[in-house]
Amino acid sequence: MAVGDPMNAEGLGLSFLIAFEVPNLFSGLLPSLFTISTFTNSDADKAEHAKKWIRKGELQAGVVSLGLGLGGTIVTKTPWPILLTLLMIGWLVWQYETALRRGTEGDGPGLDMAAGYNPKPI
């Protein structure tokens, strides 16, 4: 497959497989969206700790994902693997940042695992 040629079925399939592997890389380095939004609370020290580690995980997962997308672009000789990877990274970072914001700004239940179950009053 030469650069500029239309994507064949194998290249298109590989591009999608790479893009949809990105969430697995993020889940390996970060807690779930549920965990972030539920157990992160507005306590300033805990919120800063959570932000620091979530963002470290986003950066690491993003770098590893870019490597995967770049490898796919080299193999297929098209930009689609890296472009789809970038789109998936952007969507996932938005998801993680939304969960983090909800947890730290008090939109989530603010459960504290160290303090036990202590729900917000209704």
Domain ranges of the chain: 9-104
pLDDT in tens, 79-88: 999 999 999 9
pLDDT in tens, 24-59: 999 999 999 998 888 887 678 888 988 999 999 999
Can you give the chain as a three-state secondary structure string? CCCCCCCCHHHHHHHHHHHCCHHHHHHHHCCCHHHHHHHCCCCHHHHHHHHHHHHHHHHHHHHHHHHHHHHHHHHHCCCHHHHHHHHHHHHHHHHHHHHHHHHHCCCCCCCECCCECCCCCC
Q: Which amino acid is at 6?
A: P
Quote the pTM value.
Answer: 0.82
Is the distance from CB of 120 to CB of 109 less than 8 angstroms?
A: yes
